Amino acid sequence: MKTFVPFNKIATQKITIVDGLHPHNLCLSHWKGANNLEGIAADTSGEIVLKAIESNYPGVKNNLVSATHFDIDGFVGVYSLFNPETALTCREELIAMARIGDFREYKPINKIDDYALKLCCWMNKVEKDRFYRPFGSKDEIENCVEKFHYFLSVFTHVLENIDDYKKDWELEYNSVHNGIAKEVSSQKHKSIGLIKKKFECPPHYYALFNSTEGFDIVLAIYPDNKYELEYKYTTWIDLASRTNLPRIDLNPLANDLNAMEVSEFEWQVDSISDTGPVLRLESSELTKADRYANPSERTIYSSSIDSNKLEKIVLSFFTNSYKNIAPKNNWTWGEVRSLNH
């Protein structure tokens, strides 16, 4: 019988850790330093767990399971350990759910992704309505436990009967597709891993990052000289499916933009080790919960810098920053910090 153990209650018992790190236990996780288990490496923690179940990886049948936080990818992994037969039956949907939840990489013309999107939208709404939004708690290790218990108790029926829960997922699902419909253009700069996207207005994140698989930086351009530049979460973890470039500190870019900016706002950027650093004009610092929320849910200010000039500055910054760096797998935080020093 499986039991979910709060991460802060781990002592000497053998526990399977999902989507996190622990020095003395099996970690089924894509966090840096953990995604190196032979035969089961994958891009998301959820898929790592599914591969571990399929291969009967040593330790995967531990009766004790834990996680440091609640999110969609981590839940997919924990749920799969508790319900291996159902998880393997719905393997592709769960893998897509984990990718959309963690990387926001939604593929619009894909039946499995469409099903997974409904699951993600359902979970997003229920999580916020019944508990609190992501990064909305100061004690996530403690408070995520109740979320896991609740979703483990109800998810099987939702997974197998998603249309029965349309009232919970329909609004956000439609918001995603409405956002995709308002995408004006998309331009890929493969050598620096950047994709530029223009929209009629700030969209849902799943719309903004739709069809961005294989890219790690998104430059979003909206009318009235409104912009956001973001490193995707794919640069915070270790990807198994491809190489990529390391994160570059965006503070020098922010300084260059501030030297040109004549609006009342200031270009600010989050720490290089943030899960998804966003460079944007600020009037005051956004909370982590607000930065994690959809662009459509936060105020984006107009810059005095026109879009053509800003785009040239951004592309030049990354081209120069990466000119002597080759893509590779599994950049360590030590390597990232050393390069930036």
Express each pLDDT in 3-50 by its tens digit: 999 999 998 889 999 999 999 899 999 999 999 999 999 999 999 999
**In degrees rounded to 5, what are phi and psi of residue 109?**
-100, 65
Mean pLDDT of 153-171: 98
Q: Write down the pLDDT at residue 285.
A: 84
Average pLDDT over residues 78-96: 98
Mean pLDDT of the region 110-137:
96
Kindly state the average pLDDT of the residues 313-334: 97
The pLDDT value given to residue 286: 86
In this prediction, residue 317 has a pLDDT band, given cuts at 50, 70 and 90, of very high
Place of tokens 């399929």: 54
Residue 138 has pLDDT above 90, yes or no: no
Mean pLDDT of the chain, nearest integer = 97
pLDDT score of 11:
87
User: How far is it, in rounded angstroms, from Cα 155 to Cα 119?
Assistant: 9
pLDDT in tens, 95-112: 999 999 999 999 999 999
Going from N- to C-terminal start, the domains of the chain cover 3-175, 183-340
pLDDT value of position 146: 97
Give residue 62's pLDDT band: very low, low, confident or very high (50, 70, 90).
Answer: very high
Q: What is the pTM of this model?
A: 0.96
**Contact by Cβ (8 Å): 104, 119:** no
